[in-house]
Structure 1
């Protein structure tokens, strides 16, 4: 609790306090005068509203895509594969996490490039939002597969067999037996995919074309614009979004079932 309170919550408090300061327009020095101008700019300037909405939609899209892709993989790993194959598949899912983030992002850049493998078969979306969503979905997919696999592994096979013995079809068994157990695990995975996407800015620079996300605004405001207070204000948006998301998830009771 001391570690959480001092280092984590303390840093968030420092971030919020910094966002209430301003920068001297001439000298570029931070003025420790309380003001809401940074937040006023965020909500009144169209470009920042557009970037905020774009970031939230991309995070939601990545989470949904990863959930759809992870479910059959996790189900096969937990309920179909033999114990030996399970271990092999877990290693296979973890292996991409050992590779460099930049290597994987640039590999996808090569896939989307003109004359690349996808372009050769007419499937390349080019650099832009679609490329960003696909790249981030690939990067964070293991974070969705592993919680789903752990959740489904806890589901007793006897419950599935009992459902079949009572005359339930595959769809009914999935809906009334598997999904209630899977939902908390999917929520746990979505916390990773949603939050990691909200804060990402490197993949967007590599495959996103001219599109930006909130992470890019923070990066540019701090390093290029030398405006730490505004960067701190932008950084509070993902934090607030995750607090809202966690509150909504908590109301469903999913977190209590983890």
Structure 2
């Protein structure tokens, strides 16, 4: 708890404070003069608002795609696959987590290039841009959705499914009324990872996004290229607030209480 308070919450406090500082227009040095200009600009600037909407939209889309892919795979792994197949699938899902982030991102850059394997195999590739960013982020964070969903399906008692079938419910009705409420906490837990990781990502969009801008690389550009730490800190408040709001929304569903 001490490490969390000092290293994490302490750094967030410094971040929030530095958002209200300014910079010297000539030297670019940070000036500890309190001003709200950076926060106002981060909220009202049309470019920043457009990028914010795009970033939140991408994070939500990646979360939905990960859930759509993870639910049937998690169901198969937990309830249908043989023990040997289940072990093989668990290894297949977790092995990419040991690979370098950059290796995986650049692998998708090769896959999606105009002359890459996808173009050879299908005759079509989305190229570099927003679609490529969504595909890459979905691949990168999919294991973080599959693992909690698989664990949630494993915790569903088989006798509840048998009882539902004995009472005349169809397979679809059993999935909707019996299994889905029990698995939803796992989906909610996985969505927290996929949403927050996509929201803060700035490397994948740089590699496969082409001219696409997201909040992460805007913040990085302000901090490194423009040397404007206060504005970067003010922009960082936006994804932080979005994650907090998302957590509160998940909490209101009651899903996190059972995770």
Q: Could you state the TM-score of these two structures normalised by the residue count of structure 1?
A: 0.98
The count of corresponding residues between Structure 1 and Structure 2 is: 258
Indicate the residue corresponding to 1:50 in structure 2: 50
- Superposition RMSD in Å: 1.0
Q: 2:126: which partner in 1?
A: 125
Q: Distance in 2 between matches of 1:172 and 1:144?
A: 24
CA shift, 1:236, in A, is: 1.2
Number of the residue aligned with 1:32: 32
Rounded Cα–Cα distance in structure 1 between residues aligned with 2:4 and 2:173? 43
Match of 1:13 in 2: 13
Distance 1:80 1:143 in 2: 21
Q: CA deviation at 1:248?
A: 1.0
The answer for the alignment partner of 2:139 in structure 1 is 138
Instruction: Flag structure 2 segments of 5+ consecutive residues without an equivalent.
Output: none
Distance 1:15 1:123 in 2: 44
Q: Report the Cα offset of residue 5 of structure 1.
A: 2.2
Kindly state the Cα deviation for residue 11 of structure 1 after the two structures are TM-superposed: 1.2
| Deviation per residue, 1:7-33 (Å, 9 max, x gap) | 221111111001110111101111111
The alpha-carbon deviation at position 111 of structure 1 amounts to 1.1
Distance in 1 (CA, whole Å) between partners of 2:92 and 2:83 is 14
Aligned partner of residue 184 in structure 2, secondary structure = helix
The more displaced of 35-44 and 209-218 is 35-44
Is 1:155–2:151 an aligned residue pair?
Answer: no
Cα deviation digits, residues 136-186 of structure 1 (max 9, x gap): 000000000000001110001111111111110011001111100111000
Q: Distance in 1 between matches of 2:213 and 2:134?
A: 12
SS, match of residue 168 in structure 1 = coil
Counterpart residue number, 1:221: 222
The TM-score normalised by the length of structure 2 is 0.97
Q: 5 Å matches for 1:235-246? A: 235-246=236-247
Tell me how far 1:84 sits from its aligned partner: 2.7
Q: Distance in 1 between matches of 2:212 and 2:92?
A: 32
> Counterparts of 2:194 and 2:37 in 1: how far apart (Å)?
31
Question: 1:211 Cα deviation (Å)?
Answer: 0.8
The alpha carbon displacement at 1:112 in A equals 1.1
Unaligned 5+ segments in structure 1 are none
Query: Which residue in the other structure is 1:205 paired with?
Result: 206
